[in-house]
Amino acid sequence: MLTEKVRVLIASVSAVVITVGIARFAYTPMIPEMMAGAGMNNTLAGLLATANYAGYLSGALLISFLQASGLKIRLYQLGLLGAVLTTGLMGYTEQTWVWYLLRFVSGLCSSAGVLIGAGLLMSWLLRQGHKPELGIFFSGLGIGIVLTAILAELIRSRFSWDQQWVLYAGAACVLLLPIWRWSPDYRLSVPSAVPKAQGSSSLSLFMLLLQLAYFCAGVGYVVTATFLVAIAEASPLLIGQGWMIWLVAGLAAAQGCWLWDLMVRRQGDWLALLLAYLLNALSVLLLLLMDGLAGVLLSAVIYGASFIGIVSMTLAMVGRLYPENPSRPMGRLTFGYGIAQMLAPMVVGYLAESQGHYFSGLLITLGVISTGCVLLIGAWHVQRQEAAGSQAIA
């Protein structure tokens, strides 16, 4: 018999798999399929990814201003349904402007599933007296990658590109069942008498530096998430191996959440977070230096484990720092992350199309992630100073 906590976690993870794992990540293995079947080129692939992240950015901005819990719950539910619809409808048109619209709305749905979902789950965990850790929640990102990778391999030779989109939507429909059965009444999940955090989540220097560092992490995440399969398939040594590389990244992400939660308990938020940033930079460096299967697989493993750690640890940390309304600082951080996700695919896609390779785009990405490491250290230093000041005042 499953406990209530396990049921709620399964429902929450299923929501992440639908809104991001399928609605977002199905696009990655679909890029080569749409290039072959619908005539899509690298520039359009990057622009469609940009449209998706523009929607994610818009959703994050909206969520950062939301206060009413009832409205957030309704938007969360709409995000789940919208993720299914926008995925399936991609297969019913070849009109570019419709693709842009669908990817934009899909991004809105992703932000609702991740940001509102994470805030609702954290509030429920706090009210029920459980540890406010989100590693299991964000494992849905890795599970989504695994699911799309396996589906991609099973259906790519049997179905056309448009039929594949519909099949992804069908898988998302199945995942709605545990959400419908096991989601708690989140209207009762807002913690009462939660101590208000010191300072402002929007005005402090700490939050500014953390947001800039998270922007850099967004660049590192999105370039690989968008182009990893295309990079692999572009190499003569890796033709036909893209789905397996994507699968490996997903497996690493799904397992990485548990490992990062353990790392935080032993080493603290900041050391664990800095290690995740450094590993993310290493994954890009490996793509620059190695083009064989072993090197790309290693890069995929490190990428999957590191990006999921950055997302889960950063959002969980600000949720604990600002427990009175965790979705709000999560949304503001993700606003910067969303800007990165909107701009980076467009730039890298353009460079790949004009130069015929991904080297320049990956080199820029490595530089941005390295800058993020420096900004993260700065945020760590400022946060320690602010915490010491608050203790002195108390």
What is the pLDDT at residue 364?
93
How many alpha carbons fall within 13 Å on the CB side of residue 143? 20
Task: Give per-residue pLDDT as tens, 196-215.
Answer: 444 444 457 888 999 999 99
Task: Give per-residue pLDDT as tens, 94-138.
Answer: 999 999 999 999 999 998 998 899 888 988 888 888 876 777 888
Neighbours of 95 (CB within 10 A): 10
Cα separation values, 268 from 49, 89, 265, 271, Å: 34, 44, 6, 6
Task: Give per-residue pLDDT as tens, 268-279.
Answer: 889 999 999 999
Q: At CA 317, angle to CA 314 and CA 322, rounded to 5?
A: 125
Task: Please give the torsion angle defined by the CA atoms of residues 21, 24, 26 and 28, in that order, rounded to the nearest 10 degrees.
Answer: -120
Mean pLDDT of the chain: 85
Residue 236 three-state SS = coil
The stretch 70-96 carries a mean pLDDT of: 93
Q: What is the rounded CA–CA span in Å between residue 39 and residue 52?
A: 19
Residue of higher predicted confidence among 177 and 354: 177
Reading the block at residue 133, the tokens are 């850790």
Which of 66, 49, 68, 36 has the alpha carbon at shortest distance from 338? 49
What is the pLDDT at residue 193?
43
**DSSP code for 160:** -
The amino acid occupying position 169 is A
Q: What is the rounded CA–CA span in Å between residue 110 and residue 173?
A: 15
Judge contact between 77 and 116, C-beta under 8 A: no
Residue 289 pLDDT exceeds 70? yes
Residue 9 three-state SS = helix
Task: Please give the torsion angle defined by the CA atoms of residues 275, 278, 283 and 288, in that order, rounded to the nearest 10 degrees.
Answer: -170
Residue 374 pLDDT exceeds 70? yes
Pick from 218-222, 251-255, 363-367, 390-394 the range whose average pLDDT is largest. 363-367
Please list, in sequence order, all residues whose beta carbon lies within 8 angstroms of the beta carbon of residue 275, skipping any fewer than 6 positions away: 263
Reading the block at residue 53, the tokens are 């992240």
Neighbours of 244 (CB within 10 A): 19
Reading the block at residue 29, the tokens are 């293995």
pTM of the model: 0.78
What is the pLDDT at residue 13?
94
Confidence band of 234 (pLDDT split at 50, 70, 90): confident
The amino acid occupying position 243 is W
The stretch 360-383 carries a mean pLDDT of: 92
Under CATH, which number does the domain 4-183+197-393 receive? 1.20.1250.20
Q: How far apart are the first and last CA of the chain?
A: 47
